[in-house]
Each structure stands twice: as C-alpha cells, then as structure tokens.
Amino acid sequence: MSTTSIRRTAALTTATAFLPLSLALGASPASASVGTSIAATAQANLGKGACSTNTAGGGAYYSSCTGNGGSPEAWCADFAKWVWAQNGVDVRGLTPAAGSFGTYNGGLHSTPQAGDAVLYNYNYNGYADHVAIVTAVGNGTITTIGGNEGGVSGNWSATSKVRQSATHSSAIGYSWGGQRISGYVSPIGGTDTGGTTTAPTPVAPNHVYDNVRFANGNWQGVALADAGADVSQVVTAAMPNGDLHVVTLSSGKVYDNVRFANGSWQGTALADGSGYITSIAAVGMPNGDMRLETVSNGNVYDNVRFANGSWQGAALADAGGKVSQAALAAMPNGDMHLVTLSAGKVYDNVRFANGNWQGTALADGSGYITSIAAAGMPNGDMHLETVSDRYVYDNVRFANGSWQGAALADAGGAVGQATVTALPNGDLHLVTLSNGNVYDNVRFSNGTWQGTAIADGSGKVNAVAATGMPNGDMHLNTLAN
C-alpha cells in the first residue's frame, strides 16, 4: 500500500466501545484557536511510530505500543485521543477503538473544522475502520493527520507512522486511501496551548440537577439532585401517584432515586450492578410499575420495579447484539413501546399489557440517526424523535398503528440530544440540548408548535431528561459538571 493509505482500528467487542451519553450529547465544536492548537500538536508528531517518544516525552500514544500482548495495536484512535487530550479536551469514553468516536459529542456531522476527528467506514454501531485529525479546512477540502498510517503489509502496526494526507475532498462518502469518509466529530472543551504539549485539563464529575416547569408555565429553577458518583446518563419516569424516579448510569451500574410526591427524596439505591451497561431508558406505567431498559453489549434487557417496590430482575428483551440506545413510551392502555437504535436505524417493539411482545419492526430506516426519544400520548399516539446530523425530526405512530413519517421539528443544526414527554392535556414537550444549553419547545394538542425557548442557558449541560407529571408539571433533569 502507498504511504497515503490508512489502516483500520477495530472496534472493541466489550461494552467499553460505546461512549457514555453524558459525553455524546450537547457539547459545542472547538473554537478556532483550540482547533489550531490541536492541529499543531498533531503536526509536531509527524513521522513518529507507535512506540516513538511523543512530544510530551512519553513512549507511546496511550496503549499504542503495548495494546496487543506487548506489540503495537492498531493505534489510530490512540493517537487521535492523545492529541485531543494534550489540548485539554474531555476524552472520557474514547477507547482504542476508532468506532468509539462515532457516538462522542452527539455523533457525526457533515461540516469539518480544524481540530475535529474524521471517521472512516463507520457502521453507526461502534465500529469504524479509521480515525484521524482534521488539520486544515479549505473550500470543500480537508487535510488530515492520523496515526497508524502507511505501514508495511504483514507488520502493519509496528511499521506504520503518524502521517499527513494530501489535501482532498471533505464530502461525506468520498473515498480516501480506499475508505469512505463517514463524518466528523467535534471535541468537547479544550484549551489553546499554542501547539505546545500540556497535561490534559482535569474534568469535573457530572452531577444531576432537577428543575420543574409548573403547569402554569413558570420554572422552579435548577436544584442539585445527585452530587454523588460521576454520572454518565440520567433518565426520568413519572408515576401515577406523583412520585418521580430519577435513574442514573455510573460506571456501568444503574441507580434509582425517588422524589416523592411531597417533594422529599429517597436517596440513590443500586438497581443493576452488572457494571457493563452502556445506556438506559425508563418509563412509568399506568399500573404504577416502572420499567427499566438497559443496553449491554448491544443487547437490551427489560427490568421492572413493581408498584410495591420490589424488582423483577433484568430479562433479555432484544438479543440483536447491535443496539446502541433504547427509548421507552408508556401507552394509556398499558402497552409499552421499546424503541431501539441500531446502525443508524430505528426499530419499534411493543410489549402488550398482557405481557406478550410484538417483535421488532423497522420504524425509520434512514441509517443516519444518532439519538432517539419517545413518548406515549393520552390519545394513544406515540411520538418518536430522531436526531440526525444535529437536526430533530418528529414522527408519530398513531393509535391505529400507522405512521405519519418523520417531519423536521428543529432545524437549528446544532442539537446533540433531544428528549420528549407528554402532559395530561395532550401537549408534547420537545427538550433539546445544544452547545451546553437546554431549549424547550411545545407541540400543543392541536398540532401547532410554540417554538424553542431557553430553559437552561448555563452552557454547561452535558445531557438532559424530561418527564411529564400527572399534575401537569414537567421535570427537567440535567447532567452538568
């Protein structure tokens, strides 16, 4: 192969190949100065190998020299992560798998900036062939620098180097070195170091905050709800008796907290201690049960916290092995929709009130979806929100089982995550996260939209969850450093 050819980094087969959602959602692109600094760090390491002394004085790029039984691993992701880290970027969740960049910071977008990562042959389920750093952007072109490029067949990782590409097209789908550009990923945070190597900026742990939008439209204001372990995802579930469950994911384990109807909190309790969970979803059912879905190794498990407080235990609900995210919607008749995201496509399954399952059916086959949310409406409809290239689309599965089709709901082009919830009066709240800020939009029961309004302008939010309460209030839970 020529020296411009690239070498793939296989995705991990364990749950660590997926990024915690707190990192994947809602962060802003790098500033121009940070992007320039990232590019300069990549440039300073040109020509170095997996076991070379890097510009920080170390003997490798993370595990590039020892990742495969003491010999160099396929190390393109090691290099890209290392370059970002030297510039203060939050690299939590990124692994030696190139595919781990695919769900970072809201997933892929189509407009590159200097300092972004570029992903090749990404399958939208944790696997990609290669990742590199964008070092320059022109009029429809990019230049990149990547690790593990230009090696010798049969001894690739040991002979490959950090190499710079020729300037080429930035278009999605363009083939460079025999591999297609899948999209671009922007770094979270970062500091302008002028291209000099520095220690990564320490990242503060995420905490959970609770806010309330009262039925009259007023907001309570943000209050700390969980200051404990570093949380990577939060989901919420409203119960018929007015209790609120705030379920959190931390280090692969799931914790349940209850805000009782009187406003007091139970405190966090371990709900699933397996340690390998990568994504969660929860919903309150009309009979007072709470259903909890967990994603581990691409499979979905269904658990129930019964109205009496006891747990059923996790049972396999989807053994496809390729699910990256699940969403839940409770219906007035006791049915539950389990919506899953796999390889950029969305599938819908129904657990009927009698306990039987319908089986998965394709709901959106576009193949470019990076995040999903769902909500059951009082009239029996289900709304499905999808995020693709940072736009939000609203779809409806009517009570008769037919689908409306995805319609553009937020054309801002900067959405990292969307969550959705229904209120007893038939209104639907679409809450979006963009550049660390939270926005609330309302689709009224007559089908008209209010328009986005700022709900949290702190600029520090990493993930959101929302749920409508029986009294017409809406609880908004956020993760922030």
- Count helices and strands in the chain by DSSP H and E runs: 4, 31
- The Cα 318–Cα 298 span in angstroms is 9
Question: pLDDT at position 201, please?
Answer: 44
Work out the angle at residue 444's Cα, subtended by the Cα atoms of residues 438 and 449, and round it to the nearest 5 degrees: 60
Report helix, strand or coil for 87.
coil
Contacts of 191 (CB under 8 A, 6+ apart): 34, 37, 87, 88, 198, 201
H-only helix segments in 118-229: 156-159
Q: Along the 481 residues of the chain, how does pLDDT read in single tens digits?
A: 223 344 334 333 222 222 333 333 334 455 568 899 999 999 999 999 999 999 998 888 988 887 655 567 789 999 999 999 999 898 888 888 898 998 888 788 888 999 999 999 887 767 888 999 999 998 888 999 999 998 776 666 678 899 998 888 888 878 777 788 989 999 988 876 655 544 444 445 678 999 999 999 999 999 999 887 678 789 999 999 999 999 998 878 999 999 999 999 999 999 999 888 878 999 999 999 999 999 887 899 999 999 999 999 999 999 887 787 899 999 999 999 999 988 789 999 999 999 999 999 999 998 778 789 999 999 999 999 998 877 999 999 999 999 999 999 998 878 878 999 999 999 999 999 887 899 999 999 999 999 999 999 988 887 899 999 999 999 999 988 7
Contact of 294 with 282, CB cutoff 8 Å: no
Contacts of 23 (CB under 8 A, 6+ apart): 90, 92, 93, 104, 105, 188, 232, 462
With tokens 């609900």, the residue in question is 317
- Token readout for 46 is 């040109």
In Å, what is the CA distance from 203 to each residue of 58, 63, 379, 461?
21, 21, 44, 14
Give me the torsion for CA of 94, 100, 104, 109, rounded to 10°.
140
- Whether domain 15-185 has CATH 3.90.1720: yes
Question: pLDDT at position 10, please?
Answer: 38
Question: pLDDT at position 140, please?
Answer: 82
Contacts of 123 (CB under 8 A, 6+ apart): 99, 343
Closest among 247, 223, 250, 244 to 234, alpha carbons compared: 247
Question: pLDDT at position 26, please?
Answer: 37
Question: pLDDT at position 167, please?
Answer: 86
Say yes or no: do domains 15-185 and 207-480 share a fold. no
Q: Break the chain into its structural domains and give their ranges.
A: 15-185, 207-480
**Which CATH topology does 207-480 take?**
Neuraminidase (2.120.10)
- Strand partners of residue 229: none
**Sign of the CA dihedral with 260 first, then 265, 266, and 268 last:** positive
Question: pLDDT at position 416, please?
Answer: 78
